[in-house]
Amino acid sequence: MILAPVQYLARDKKHSIEVIMSHVMWTYDAENVATKNGKVKRIVRERYLRDDIACGITACSLCCHDDDDSLEEQPHRHGNDLNLSPQAAQYLLLTVDVVLRQMDVLEYSSCTELSNIIILETVAEQVKRKDMSIYRRLHALIKSDRHFYVFANEHHRDTYVAKTETESAVERDVRATCGAFQWCPSSRSLDSLLTCMSRYTSHLTTLGSKTAVTYIANDTVDAERAAANGVQATTISSFVAPLVKAYPDLADLMSNASTAPVSEGSAKKTTLYAEHKSMSEVLAGIKNKRFFQGTLRCNRDHWYHAIHPSSLIYVSVVRRLECTVLIHGLNDARVPVLISGCVREFINRAMDGDVVAIEILPKAQWRRPADAFAVNNDKDDMEDSARTTEPQHVRTPTLSGDVADVSDLKPCGKVVGIVQRNWRRYCGSIEPVAAQTTATTNVLFVPVDRKIPKIRMITRQHDTLLDKRIVVAIDSWPVDSRFPLGHYVKTLGVIGDKETETQVLLLEHDIPCQQFSDKVLKCLPPADWTITPENSKGRTDLRHLPVCSIDPPNCKGIYIYICV
């Protein structure tokens, strides 16, 4: 890595002259990557570092606020927006995990304390690579009036972190975003964090502001390591805790990915599933044909939730526990592999739509597709510690393996790893709880989609949500929990209401139904606008006909109208 000063000519638009810019330094990033053909390719990218990048604080006298727009074309910047207020009580510097796991909390616009937030450019880029849907939501927050500001740390001379020869690009990004404080004090990545925070502190001091800069981590370990290195840090849960009294919904919006809920009097948890293979093991296994990659597809009755007629509570009924993964066979033929749902370890916490790595079972364990109606495993009678009274599955008789025709047997497999999750937001309702002894209640959420299992969540509004359709997001699925863990997102309305059920259908089929932004609404005429002979000249009146629009996928405009 070469770090050298650069002098180049830049045109001053205000005075129409060319000036020499000497505050730029040139460097490059080099990385060896493996191609699909198994070869190694070296990628080199040039990078120019500057020391005149604005901090984002309004009216900061130490930053250059002239018409120099050399950084305006950065993917996360939006014009000349200087969004941080010098009158704010504190600025929040977020980690990647906080953005990925706590986006529902960050989007809670009613809480004024969740504003004036600094997003490092490295954090935004990592979020974009890991979850595009979360990145779009982050992008919307940056464009909003919530005072989110992206600091271009990757282009600042003092905060840029160079990649060493022995580390990967991912490891370099971890150091650059200060995600794990395992450095010695002389490490450049720690210097980058301290420089970034001290830069904001000095600028605020110059402005006479008492605003503090706080590093927000997603877990206690990360926050403690940051504090040990002289950084003012706290966890997102500790930050939100004092705000719950004023904003009760924040408690339900918090992601519970780190810990599984435990009920009172519960016994020691039992491991119900095998640990997933690491990504390196999965990729190595796929390469040597020990594992196979494919998308898991479950039948509609994979997780069937019925209502018991006497108690009016949900009962889990195992019907056609059968999933299929298409893999590449000989001559690139697509071969379906059955994943039996009767043995819990075979599915291993995979869900419909997940890209999984599977291992083919011995031929002695192959079966016909009809055998997927099969018997429950004895371990299915064991519930996780948080749900000891779960109803037993209904047993269905099956044919003996001796009777089955060998020619009808299909290859079977089991899930050994998850390559990519297909989790989304799910619509449904919660089960009633017999006894409620604390303010927070541990409940089971029943999705409308029968291919999705129940989701365990904690809520403070159990009685309010009993007759409601709600939206829930999955946070994690530990090996000691029979059901995935999630958190409440929002309430759609009362069960059975026409508008509510319409929203459920739209959301379940991934059809956008959110409210239009103020920017879009400003393009419309006033609310009292009416059609008059003057403004309808030259137009054909089709109001007496039913009209619909047919748009291609991902279309954002209405171009074609068809009369029916």
Note whether 42 and 101 are same-domain residues. Answer: yes
Per DSSP bridges, beta strands 485-494 and 561-563 are: unpaired
Q: Strand runs (DSSP E) across 13-96, as ranges?
A: 17-34, 40-50, 90-94
User: Do 66 and 182 fall within a single domain?
Assistant: yes
Which residues are CB-neighbours of 543 under 8 A, at least 6 positions away? none
Query: Is 305:449 a contact under the CB 8 Å cutoff?
Result: no
**Domain coverage including residue 465:** 292-306+322-381+411-508
Q: 468 and 356 in one domain?
A: yes
In a domain, 296, yes or no: yes
Total domains in the fold of the chain = 2
Strand, coil or helix: what is 97?
helix
469-482: pLDDT as tens digits: 999 999 999 998 88
pLDDT digits (tens, 9 = 90+) for 501-513: 999 999 998 887 7
Query: What would the mean pLDDT of 409-421 be, rounded to a whole number?
Result: 90
Contact (Cβ atoms closer than 8 angstroms) between residue 76 and residue 121? yes
- What's the whole-model pTM score? 0.72
Structural domain contains residue 513: no
* One domain for residues 102 and 239: yes
Residue pair 296/350 in contact by the 8 Å Cβ criterion: yes
pLDDT of 438 reads 66
Instruction: Give the CATH number for residue 247.
Output: 3.40.50.1010
The per-residue pLDDT for 226 is 81
**Domain boundary residue, one of 508, 531, 548:** 508
Contact 450, 382 (CB under 8 A): no
**Do residues 416 and 496 both lie within one domain?**
yes
Long-range contacts of 2-8, Cβ-Cβ distance < 8 Å, separation of 24 or more: 2/26, 2/27, 2/28, 3/27, 3/49, 3/162, 6/48
pLDDT confidence of residue 269: 66
* Residues contacting 424, CB < 8 A, separation 6+: 473, 510
The three-class DSSP label of residue 290 is coil
Antiparallel, parallel or unpaired: β 212-217 and 90-94: parallel
Beta bridge partners of 442: 458
pLDDT single digits (tens) 100-129: 999 999 999 889 899 999 998 888 988 998
Q: Give the count of beta carbons closer than 10 Å to the beta carbon of residue 444.
A: 21
Residue 300 domain-assigned?
yes
Q: For residue 277, what are its two tokens? A: 């293979």
Of 173 and 348, the structure prediction assigns the larger pLDDT to: 348
Domain assignment present for 371: yes
Q: For residue 454, count CB atoms less than 10 angstroms from its CB and return exposed for 0-12, middle for 13-18, buried for 19 or more.
A: buried
Average pLDDT, the chain: 76
Q: Identify the pLDDT of residue 40.
A: 86
pLDDT at residue 522, as a whole number? 84
Please indicate, yes or no, if residue 549 is contained in any of the structural domains. no
- Please give the Cα distance from 287 to 280 (Å, whole number): 11
Task: Please identify, among 463, 479, 508, the residue that sits at the C-terminal boundary of a domain.
Answer: 508
Cα 8–Cα 10–Cα 16 angle in degrees, nearest 5: 145
pLDDT of residue 542: 84
DSSP for 284-324, please give it. Answer: HHHHTTSSEEEEEEE-TTSSEEEE-TTT--EEEE----EEE
**CA distances (Å), 118 to each of 83, 85, 92, 520, in order?**
10, 11, 6, 27
Q: Are residues 338 and 234 in the same domain?
A: no
Q: Is 196 helix (H, G, I), strand (E, B) or coil?
A: helix
The mean per-residue pLDDT over the stretch 203-225 comes to 84
Q: Does a structural domain hold residue 335?
A: yes
Asked if residue 327 and residue 239 are part of one domain, the reply reads: no
Rounded to a whole number of angstroms, the CA Rg of the chain reads 28
Q: How far is CA 138 from CA 41, 355, 451, 507, in A?
A: 33, 25, 29, 20
Residues 237 and 296 in one domain: no
State whether 161 and 227 are in the same domain. Answer: yes
Query: Per the domain annotation, does 160 fall within a domain?
Result: yes
CATH number of the domain within which 497 lies:
2.40.50.700
What's the confidence (pLDDT) of residue 64? 57
Q: Is 536 part of any domain? A: no
Residues 241 and 349 in one domain: no
Q: Please give the span between the terminal C-alpha atoms of the chain, in angstroms, as a whole number.
A: 65
Chain center to CA of 285: 27
pLDDT above 80 (res 444):
yes
Q: Are residues 128 and 209 in the same domain?
A: yes
233-235/212-217 β-pairing: parallel
What ranges in 55-120 are assigned the alpha helix state H? 96-101, 103-106
Residues in the chain, how many? 564
Supply 61's token pair: 């006298």
Print burial letters for 160-174: b (CB count within 10 Å at least 16), e (below 16).
bbbbeeeeeeeebbb
Parallel, antiparallel, or unpaired: how do β-strands 148-151 and 17-34 relate? Answer: unpaired
Identify whether residues 242 and 334 lie together within a single domain: no
DSSP-derived secondary structure letter, 367: B
What band does 8 get if pLDDT is binned at 50, 70 and 90? very low
Residue 133: left (phi > 0), alpha (psi -120 to 50), or beta?
A: alpha
The answer to whether residues 80 and 107 touch, using CB atoms and an 8 Å cutoff, is no
